[in-house]
């Protein structure tokens, strides 16, 4: 389950199901509800000075943007829950040590922000750090570039399947 295309977003089955349900709600009942709000505000009179109308139209724009985002995300999503322990792949919780210092560690989910855990950081497989460790096995090292342009060496200490 390695990354082969930069436009692919890896999601757990739980995240995929949650986002699909959100898309269905927004594109069905959500659209009907906002259309009713707009119609009710329109009936109040002069649209130029009608705050309720403008607020409803703004909300409609946000809903339509989220529908487009979800549609694009789900079209390119790959669902994967079966992550092999010991390998840093999307859907794994990984622990790394910075510059070989096993006291300076970071644990995070390698995946999509749509998979975001409650109190766990998430790094995309397309990020510099995520891309560097993607596919590495426990004990292997990887180098990535820091925002300031300097290289940073990390060592994979642990990788296990993410579970909620």
pLDDT bracket for residue 100 (50, 70, 90)? low
Q: What share of the chain is helix, strand, coil (3-state, %, to 5)?
A: 40, 25, 35
pLDDT tens, 59-75? 999 999 999 999 988 88
Residues pairing with 94 in the sheet:
108, 159
The model scores a pTM over 0.75? no
Domains detected in the chain: 9-79 (1.10.287.180), 92-161 (3.10.50.30)
End-to-end Cα distance, the chain:
20
| C-alpha to C-alpha distance for 78 and 6, rounded to whole angstroms | 12
* Residue of higher predicted confidence among 135 and 48: 135
pLDDT bracket for residue 1 (50, 70, 90)? very low
């Amino acid at each position: 389950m390695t990354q082969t295309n930069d436009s692919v977003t890896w999601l757990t089955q739980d995240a995929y199901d949650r986002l699909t349900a959100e898309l269905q709600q927004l594109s069905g009942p959500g659209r009907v509800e906002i259309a009713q709000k707009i119609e009710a505000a329109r009936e109040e009179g002069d649209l130029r000075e009608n705050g309720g109308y403008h607020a409803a139209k703004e909300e409609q724009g946000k809903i339509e943007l989220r529908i487009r985002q979800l549609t694009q995300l789900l079209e390119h999503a790959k669902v994967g829950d079966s992550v092999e322990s010991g390998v840093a792949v999307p859907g794994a919780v990984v622990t790394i040590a910075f510059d070989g210092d096993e006291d300076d560690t970071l644990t995070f989910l390698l995946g999509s922000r749509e998979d975001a855990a409650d109190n766990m950081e998430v790094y995309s497989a397309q990020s510099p750090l995520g891309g560097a460790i993607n596919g590495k096995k426990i004990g292997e090292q990887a180098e990535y570039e820091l925002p300031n342009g300097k290289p940073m060496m990390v060592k994979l200490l642990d990788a296990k399947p993410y579970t909620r």
